[in-house]
Amino acid sequence: MTIAQLAHIADPMLTPRLVVKVGSALLVGADGAPRRAWLTALVGELAAARARGQQVIVVSSGAIALGARRLGLAKGGRGSLADAQAAAAVGQITLAGLWADLFASHGVTAAQVLLTLDDLEDRRRWLNVTATLGTLLACGAVPVINENDTVATEEIRFGDNDRLAARVGQAAEAHAVLLLSDIDGLYDRDPRDPDAKRIPVVRRVTPDIRAMATGGSSSGLGSGGMTSKLQAAEIAGLAGMALAIIDGRPDQPLAQALADARGTLFLARPHKSARKAWLGGRMRMRGFLHVDAGAAMALGQGASLLAAGVLQVEGQFVRGDAVAVVGPAGEVLARGLSEYDAAECMALAGRNSRDHADILGYAPRSAMIHRDQLVLV
């Protein structure tokens, strides 16, 4: 059985390991102080989930919002990267303390983990994160994770905790990711439109689904918005995890939303190997290989990407870097690890395999991206 309805997210058999992401607007009030009563109730629900036999990982935002007020920074601390980093340094202490105290009142140990994008993009560091989270969970602790905002520079930032939660779920081999939001799911149009309808279940994030999302955070406190939630749903789906968005605002938000199926559930896609799922969820691509219709079709049938079908090469990358494969209509078809660097790819693009040895002056590889190193998206 797989997770097919919202209630399954509370079921320890179907969801033995759950990631719960809590956004800034839920954790921090308009006055810049933590919303302690609400958080106390939520931690009660998470402790109950653990008592039912579910392992829980929390991804918590709120460091920037909490720190901004203490430092007296304008725009909620998001006026500049330096402001956000300073605010996070102050707010993260409070945030971690809050979670630790509230879990301790249920006899549960919280563990702070701060991650940057690179920790999850580099395979070796990824495996390290996986091992650490596994150990913490095995010891009965609840990891409380945030981005390491204070050191992450613009290029190496997630920037939003929605995608961080999906990547963390993948690293922890979780079964589902639950995003607590200030809206009860994805709507088919601007939710302020009286005709807008909530979509209860999404099988796959298609361009039509993406068109329903409006960018930006509605609260102005976080940085997410629906676009980053859909990106998170794609990462989760590819990794074989379900992802749900529910309204986090009520007291004890899990109990009600899950029982009444009030939210949007994105179903998992058929599971790939863990390594391929990691590859598919990688966010930073070093280059792009534009391919013709023949190559696009062959990829769809599970073939490797051959140089003959490559029309154009973009970007600076070395052998082993992650690149995206772009189809004739400009859509990303796949992601994979290139067997060659950018200059070699350019030299080989459009050329038949039998000419490769002459072009390169050394023994060629069997493909530009081998199918074992390639994930269709």
Identity at 206, one-letter amino acid code: T
For ligand GLU, give the closer residue by CB, 64 or 111.
64
For ligand GLU, give the closer residue by CB, 59 or 298.
59
Location of structure tokens 């993009």: 121
Cβ atoms 98, 34 nearer than 8 A: yes
For ligand GLU, give the closer residue by CB, 50 or 78.
78
Cβ atoms 152, 159 nearer than 8 A: no
For ligand GLU, give the closer residue by CB, 224 or 280.
224
CB of 7 to ligand GLU, least distance (A): 26
For ligand GLU, give the closer residue by CB, 11 or 147.
147
Beta strands in 26-115 (DSSP E): 55-60, 110-115
Location of structure tokens 């995608």: 163
DSSP letters for 334-369: EEEE-SS-HHHHHHHTT--GGGHHHHHSSPPPS-SB
The token pair at 317 is 């990358």
| Polymer length in residues for the chain | 377
Report in angstroms the alpha-carbon separations of 231 from 119, 207, 308: 19, 12, 31
CB of 301 to ligand GLU, least distance (A): 38
Identity at 193, one-letter amino acid code: D
CB of 246 to ligand GLU, least distance (A): 16
Q: Using CB under 6 A, list all residues that contact ligand GLU.
A: 24, 61-65, 88, 146-147, 149, 160-161, 222-224
For ligand GLU, give the closer residue by CB, 161 or 373.
161
Within 8 A by CB and 6+ apart from 101, the residues are: none
User: 3-state class of 324 per DSSP?
Assistant: strand
Cβ atoms 206, 159 nearer than 8 A: no
Instruction: Give CA torsion, residues 135, 137, 138, 141, to 10 deg.
Output: 100
CB of 74 to ligand GLU, least distance (A): 16
CB of 88 to ligand GLU, least distance (A): 6
For ligand GLU, give the closer residue by CB, 145 or 202.
145
CB of 28 to ligand GLU, least distance (A): 9
CB of 223 to ligand GLU, least distance (A): 4
First-to-last C-alpha distance (Å) of the chain: 24
For ligand GLU, give the closer residue by CB, 214 or 353.
214
